Amino acid sequence: MRVVTLAEVSPQVTFIYVSGQGTDSSGEGRVMWARVKGRTENAIIDLLPNGYAARPGFIQPTHGVVSKTRWYRIGYAITRPLVPVLRRWLPNQITTTEGIGLAMLRVARQGSPVRVLGNRELR
């Protein structure tokens, strides 16, 4: 059986991989998750002309979004009062669920000269 890849069927498709801040593009760092995400980013960007990687940092939930992961819910509850201050001090480290969605739609429609999108580019 021959496996057909997305790149073969639709080579001009726009694909945005949601990765994460701290991802290791070299794919050779000490932290396994960072290596795996880095290798995945590289493969997508190499395979698809319109392949991108989004690397958000801290994501502030908006519009009633609630994580299914208990520890994330606890973390968000603890940091909620600090988010306005952190957004002022570290504007390029924090984004929102809405902001990521809008940025990904913009990239899907218009493309981006940058293939790896950090928080700064996502904002």
In this structure, is residue 101 part of a structural domain? yes
Interval 49-107: pLDDT, tens: 999 999 998 888 888 888 889 998 898 888 888 888 888 888 888 888 899 999 999 99
Tell whether pTM > 0.85: no
* Structural domain range at position 92: 6-122
Report the domain count for the chain. 1
* Residue listed under structure tokens 């990765």: 19
Other C-beta atoms closer than 10 Å to the C-beta of 13 total 13
In this structure, is residue 1 part of a structural domain? no
Query: What do you get for the CA distance between the two ends of the chain, in Å?
Result: 44
CATH code of 117's domain: 3.40.50.720
- The band of 4, judged by pLDDT with boundaries at 50, 70 and 90, is low
Interval 17-50: pLDDT, tens: 999 998 988 878 889 999 999 999 999 999 999 9
